[in-house]
Chain A
Amino acid sequence: MSTTVKIPATHLETGSRQVGRPLERIDAKGKAVGSTRYAGDYVMPDMLHAKVLRSTVASANLRRLDVTKARALPGVVCVLTGADVPKHMVSTDIPGQTGSWGQNTGQPILVHDRVRYFGEPLALIASESRDIAERAMTLIEPEYEPLPGVFDPIEALKPEAPLVQGVGNVVASQMVRKGDVKHGFETADVIVERVYRTQFIEHAFLEPEVGLSWIDENDVINIHVSTQVIEHFRVVADAVGLPYNRVRIRGALVGGGFGGKEDVTVEIYLALLALATRRPVRLEYTREDSFVGHGKRHPFVMTYRTGVKNDGTITALEAKFIADAGAYVFLSPSVMVYAATAAPGPYKIDNLIADAKAVATNNMYTSAFRGFGAAQACVAYEQQMDEVAKAIGMDPVKFRRKNYMRAGDRTATGVVVPSAIWTEQCVDQAWTALGEPVEVSGPIKIGRGVAACLQGYGRLTSLHDTSEGWVGVERDGTVTVRSGVTDIGAGQVSALAQIAAEVLGVTLQDVAVYNSDSAVTPLAGTTTATRALYMTGNAIRQAAEAVRRRLAQRAAKAFNVPPDDIDMAFSKVFVADDPAQSMAFRDLVRICAAEGIHCSELAMFCAPFTEKLNPETGQGQVHPDFSYGAHAIELTVDTETGEITVIKSVGAHDVGRAINPAAVEGQIEGGAVQGQGYALSEEMIYKEGRLMTPSLSEYLIPTAMDVPQVKCIILESGSGLGPFGAKGIGEAALTPVAAAIANAVADAIGVRIAELPITPEKVVNALREKE
């Protein structure tokens, strides 16, 4: 074990501390003045413009795809179809994460003969201008032979259902077994059962998918792209048949991801077209391309059955999840692991059965979305907690308090959580922060709801996740950080700078970060799964500490004290107990450089490595650790129109340590609003597989008018596995929100609408039925 640098008390007193302060992010100014270059802002001489032609049917044989007219159109340089890329499959595997259930996870890059969903890519076009590419699209006439499709996962489970992939429609399943559920239900005084449903959700990042590819002087395919995962360079290389070291992916600051840029987007198309034309190619999705072209959040049907004693003790839980996987597997298997293992939420339930199944349909495929299955589970378990409390006549907060998992308890999969479990603090503080209720009268009813959650941070431990980072110090006292990590808007890069600055006693302005280039920055892994700060933050901290140790050793020699007595702050190196003995940080670096002392370090951080869960019982470690949090809502419902207005929205989360509290607040505020959209307004509607909501005026994300000021309560247990005791907040910020809103609506109108989104129409109908 390497020793870690503690933040000396003097840093707190003198204000030299970098970690824990709401510093202006290093990426903020360029974005505010419009000088930041996103992936779509790059152009090259002689560049072509690309388009993807997609199917307009959901289930069919592609009998003919005549592209001769398109190829003949002046200005069209290249048209590729499935016939041109016959063997290439999109392997959407992040190795180990998909494919282990014996299913065909591969999707043809372009349809060969069978169309399985609306929007499946048929052809790629590269031309001299955007307009020409668009015209060429209209000249391609696909001939389809319609086939029966299946568009509902429950229908797809029936034996007579059409097969989507030809091997059975269950594409992934995960079970969890703990204790004796039969006995648990026998000892219950009351049993509550309910089916909860969630919908397809679109990420709706503001920046549609975009990228630019070219082949360089070394025959390397370069792809400058908006992505959460630059390490898809391997996937691209496999798809086009090149060695891994001949594909280079350069990220850029990403205009939002939320899981929607976790799978490959435009990279393979760009590589194929650059190879075919030997010219630079730019591909930018329209908003409609984006809505049609990437996977969605899984809709879930969740059947919960809970046994409880009259004193509020939960005796058993049976949870069944059926998720719509759509036409291809993508990350469904992992989403099922998250969902099944989160089935009891942050509660101690000793007798438990959870079964999660992802079922293939001819709908759009589903994959990663902030919360990743655990968010859907929370919609069910937290509504169920309210319903169980109501059934035994207990206050919902008091009922939760009786059942929280606490330090030393085991999770659903039998693991003792390594960090603090502050669910109770989060719920109590969020609930209390609602304060006095607003006054209402007439048809306007007020309601309040709360929901707690647990959310793993770090990828599944069975994936053996690692992250590398490099830190070096320069002779003018500045610091350089190199990391492959992508910054998708949450301040991932700026947090690394803060960590390096903290360890080396400089300020944020002294640190430059070079990131997101698969060829030249150390591979840091994905920006997904609330892992960037935890994994890459630790790697950068380790690297910075190694550099600091070597510098401190040299300084100790100069001052004739033990290395442990050396401190660094304000770009000075000094004896901690006698700060008069000091030298400039840059002078120390110069001395070290002159003497051949190594002034940089490449570090690798490894998450816990475990086996996969026991397939029979689901027991074993799933995540490195969990974040715990809660959200509380006060809202009004107009019982005449069904209109819901969220009045107060409070998120309380134990983030372990807030590296940048302003960035943490940004995550909580943004999660609250995304969660509100999930609960009330957002739904990707598919009719026989066809998308009916392909624009931002049909798919309604919240606007500034729809949401209140969100109150953020940041708790810091200091117990996380991330740098300086940090946990993660990216996903946890969203996870409890929708359930809190659903609970508040039920509180307001006295009837539960167990199907998201809770639209005015559903409210009015539910009130009619109640009468």
Chain B
Amino acid sequence: MKRQTVRFTINGEARELAVYPNDLLLNVLRDQESLTGTKYGCGIGECGACTVQVDGAPTLSCLKLAVSVDGCKVVTIEGLAKGNQLDPVQEAFLDNSAVQCGFCTPGMVMMGRALLDEKPRPTEQEVRDHMRGSLCRCTGYASIVRAIMVAGEKAELS
């Protein structure tokens, strides 16, 4: 197999990378770009721990070929905060104790961000429905759902 060149932005920075046609976006982010915040949990799209945003849409990076993001904007968990200014979803995760082992957290935060971008004030049921593909084994989801709703409320107030 021969490497191909792909050009895309990661967290706002333009990148030009040589990747194999079968390289997964998850592995490129983690191994080539050292962006280890995106997690491997299952490799087959069942757990959501690898969720990133591709052109604003939440995307399972373990199912996405790196060559397919040519020309796209990729945002990972590392790209959400602006310097020390956390994303409101991240803030809300901290304020609502929605982080335990933390392994699902990056994927959860990315999913929560995507929902609020679409729908700034979701109902609890909408949050739960949106998050159904992201698994957590520690929190029981209560604090995660709460955090996403609170982030929506706060954004509306400000």
User: Which residues of chain A have a CB within 8 Å of any CB of chain B?
Assistant: 22, 24-25, 27-38, 40-41, 43, 203-208, 253-256, 258, 284, 286-287, 488-491, 662-663, 665-666, 669-674, 695-697, 701-705, 707, 709-710
Contacts and interface: CB of A to CB of B under 8 A. Distances in A.
Given A206-B103, A489-B101, A489-B102, A33 B136 contact: no
A709 B99 contact: no
A726 B134 CA distance: 33
A707 B77 CA distance: 26
Contacts of A204: 135, 137
A703 to B, nearest CB: 5
A24 B94 CA distance: 7
B47 to A, nearest CB: 6
Given A206-B49, A256-B101, A33 B138 contact: no
A45 B126 CA distance: 46
19 contacts: A30-B102, A34-B37, A34-B77, A38-B39, A207-B41, A255-B103, A258-B137, A287-B41, A287-B42, A666-B143, A669-B143, A670-B140, A672-B140, A674-B137, A695-B42, A696-B135, A704-B141, A709-B145, A710-B140
A710 B44 contact: no
A705 B137 contact: no
Interface in B23-45: 30-31, 35-44
Contacts of A38: 36, 39, 103
Interface in B57-84: 76-78, 80-81
A254 B100 CA distance: 10
A27 B102 contact: yes
B97 A489 contact: no
B46 interface: yes
Given A695-B42, A696-B42, A669 B81 contact: no
Contact of A33 (B37, B124, B127, B140): B37
Nearest to B47: A696
Interface of B: 30-31, 35-44, 46-47, 49, 76-78, 80-81, 86, 90, 93-95, 97, 99-106, 109, 124, 127-129, 131-145
A29 B94 contact: yes
Interface of A is mostly: loop
A207 B103 CA distance: 6
Contact of B40 (A208, A663, A672, A705): A208
A284 B40 contact: yes
B36 A666 contact: no
Contact of A31 (B35, B40, B99, B143): B99
Contacts of B101: 205-207, 253-256, 488-489
Nearest to A285: B40
A666 B97 contact: yes
B130 to A, nearest CB: 8
B100 A33 contact: no
Given A287-B42, A709-B145, 12 more contacts: A28-B99, A37-B36, A204-B137, A206-B47, A255-B102, A489-B103, A666-B143, A674-B137, A703-B133, A703-B134, A704-B136, A705-B129
